[in-house]
C-alpha cells in the first residue's frame, strides 16, 4: 500500500509584557506671522531635545535613541461667509524618543506639557532584542510541536501508526512547491498606545500594551504503510 501524507499547520501565540516604549511627540505652533511661528517651534523643539539628551546615555538608558524629523510648514487660508480671512501659518517638528524603561517613559511623558507646543501623538511598544529572539525561538518550537501533535492525531484516528516528518516550511511555502527545508516564521505585534495629552495623571497611569509574539509553520508528515 502507498504511504499516507498528512499536511498540517502549527501555530503558537504568546503575550509578553512590553519592555520598551517609543513616544511620538510633535511640537507645533500656528499664527499670523510665518517667522514667529517657526521661531516658536524651534524654541520648543530645542528645549525638548535638550531634556531628552540629559536622559540619553548609550548602553545605560533610559533613552536609547531619539530622532528629530525635518520641520514642516504650511499656510492655511481660511474664509468666513465667502470672504477671505488673514492667512494662518503652521509649523511642526516630530520627535521620536525610545525608552528602555517603561516607568521612566511614563514619568517623562508627565512633563512633556512644559515644553511649548509639545503634544504626544502616540506610543509604540516593543521588547528588548535579545528577549524578542528568545521568545520567538520558543514560539517557533511550540508551533512545530503543535504541528506534530495534530499530524499524529489524524494518524491515530485512522489507525495508521506513528508519523515521520517530511518537510517543514513557512506558512504558504509548501503549496508553492518550494524545496524541502527547515524554515519558520515568527512575528511580533503590538498596537500603538494612544496618548492625547501629556499631564501628570496620564503619565502615572501609563499602561503599555502586551506584545503578541506569534509563530506559524506548515509541515508534511508521512506514514509508511507496508504492503
- The CATH number linked to 78 is 3.30.70
Looking at residue 50, its pLDDT comes to 96
Task: Render pLDDT for 80-95 as a digit per residue (tens, 0 to 9).
Answer: 888 889 999 999 999 9
Looking at residue 179, its pLDDT comes to 35
Q: Does residue 161 have a cis peptide bond before it, meaning omega lies within 30 degrees of 0?
A: no
Asked if residue 64 and residue 113 are part of one domain, the reply reads: yes
Average pLDDT over residues 13-33: 94
Tell me which residue range forms the domain holding 122: 20-126
Asked if residue 110 and residue 25 are part of one domain, the reply reads: yes
Is 74 a domain residue? Answer: yes
Is 184 a domain residue? Answer: yes
Asked if residue 32 and residue 10 are part of one domain, the reply reads: no
Residue linked to cell 499530524: 151
Which among 98, 126, 154 is the end of a domain? 126
Between 198 and 48, the higher pLDDT residue: 48
| Alpha-carbon dihedral angle through residues 98, 104, 110, 114, given to the nearest 10 degrees | -70
Q: Cα separations (Å) of 76 from 44, 101, 119? A: 22, 40, 21
Asked if residue 60 and residue 10 are part of one domain, the reply reads: no
Asked if residue 94 and residue 45 are part of one domain, the reply reads: yes
CA contacts within 13 A on the Cβ side of 123: 28
Looking at residue 227, its pLDDT comes to 59
Looking at residue 171, its pLDDT comes to 82
Is 166 a domain residue? Answer: yes
Which among 78, 107, 126 is the end of a domain? 126
Is 195 a domain residue? Answer: no
Asked if residue 117 and residue 24 are part of one domain, the reply reads: yes
- The CATH number linked to 172 is 3.30.110
Which among 74, 103, 126 is the end of a domain? 126
Is 73 a domain residue? Answer: yes
Do residues 87 and 30 touch, judged by C-beta distance below 8 A? Answer: no
Do residues 20 and 64 touch, judged by C-beta distance below 8 A? Answer: yes
pTM > 0.85: yes or no: no
For 27, phi and psi rounded to 5 degrees? Answer: -105, 120
Name the pairing type of β-strands 20-31 and 211-223. unpaired
Looking at residue 189, its pLDDT comes to 42
Asked if residue 100 and residue 178 are part of one domain, the reply reads: no
Is 136 a domain residue? Answer: yes
User: What would the grid cell of residue 114 be?
Assistant: 512644559
Distance, CA of 65 to CA of 20 (rounded, Å): 12
Q: Cα separations (Å) of 166 from 3, 117, 160, 171, 196? A: 12, 61, 16, 15, 52
Query: How many structural domains are present in the chain?
Result: 2
Task: Render pLDDT for 53-68 as a digit per residue (tens, 0 to 9).
Answer: 999 987 777 999 999 9
Average pLDDT over residues 25-47: 96
Q: What is the 3-state secondary structure (H, E, C) of the chain?
A: CCCEEEEEEEEEEEEECCCEEEEEEEEEEEECCHHHHHHHHHHHHHHHHHHHHHHECCCCCCEEEEEECCCEEEEECCEECCEECCCEEEEEEEEEEEECCHHHHHHHHHCHHHCCCEEEEEEEEECCHHHHHHHHHHHHHHHHHHHHHHHHHHHHHCCCCCCEEEEEECCCCCCCCCCCCCCCEEEEECCCECCCCCCHHHHHCCCCCCEEEEEEEEEEEEECCCC
Asked if residue 140 and residue 65 are part of one domain, the reply reads: no
Task: Render pLDDT for 142-159 as a digit per residue (tens, 0 to 9).
Answer: 999 999 999 999 999 999
Asked if residue 150 and residue 64 are part of one domain, the reply reads: no
Is 50 a domain residue? Answer: yes
Asked if residue 112 and residue 165 are part of one domain, the reply reads: no
Asked if residue 119 and residue 151 are part of one domain, the reply reads: no
Asked if residue 26 and residue 120 are part of one domain, the reply reads: yes
Task: Render pLDDT for 104-147 as a digit per residue (tens, 0 to 9).
Answer: 999 999 999 999 999 999 999 999 999 999 999 999 999 999 99
Task: Render pLDDT for 169-215 as a digit per residue (tens, 0 to 9).
Answer: 888 777 654 433 333 333 444 444 444 343 444 555 577 878 999 99
Amino acid at each position: 500500500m502507498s504511504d499516507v501524507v498528512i499536511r498540517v499547520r502549527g501555530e503558537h501565540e504568546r503575550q509578553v509584557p512590553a519592555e520598551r516604549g517609543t513616544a511620538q511627540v510633535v511640537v507645533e505652533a500656528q499664527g499670523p506671522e510665518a517667522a514667529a511661528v517657526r521661531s516658536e517651534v524651534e524654541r520648543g523643539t530645542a528645549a525638548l531635545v535638550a531634556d531628552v539628551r540629559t536622559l540619553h546615555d548609550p548602553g545605560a538608558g533610559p533613552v536609547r535613541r531619539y530622532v528629530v524629523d525635518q520641520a514642516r510648514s504650511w499656510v492655511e487660508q481660511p474664509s468666513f461667509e465667502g470672504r477671505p480671512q488673514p492667512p494662518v501659518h503652521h509649523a511642526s517638528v516630530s520627535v521620536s524618543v525610545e525608552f528602555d524603561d517603561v516607568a521612566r517613559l511614563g514619568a517623562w511623558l508627565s512633563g512633556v506639557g512644559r515644553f511649548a507646543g509639545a503634544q504626544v501623538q502616540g506610543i509604540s511598544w516593543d521588547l528588548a532584542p535579545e528577549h524578542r529572539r528568545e521568545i520567538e525561538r520558543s514560539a517557533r518550537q511550540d508551533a512545530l510541536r503543535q504541528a506534530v501533535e495534530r499530524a499524529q492525531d489524524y494518524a491515530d484516528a485512522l489507525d495508521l501508526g506513528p508519523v515521520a516528518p517530511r518537510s517543514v516550511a513557512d506558512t504558504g511555502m509548501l503549496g508553492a512547491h518550494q524545496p524541502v527545508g527547515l524554515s519558520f516564521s515568527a512575528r511580533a505585534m503590538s498596537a500603538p498606545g494612544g496618548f492625547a495629552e501629556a499631564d501628570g495623571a496620564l503619565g502615572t497611569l501609563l499602561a503599555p500594551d502586551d506584545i503578541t509574539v506569534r509563530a506559524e509553520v506548515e509541515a508534511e508528515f508521512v506514514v509508511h504503510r507496508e504492503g
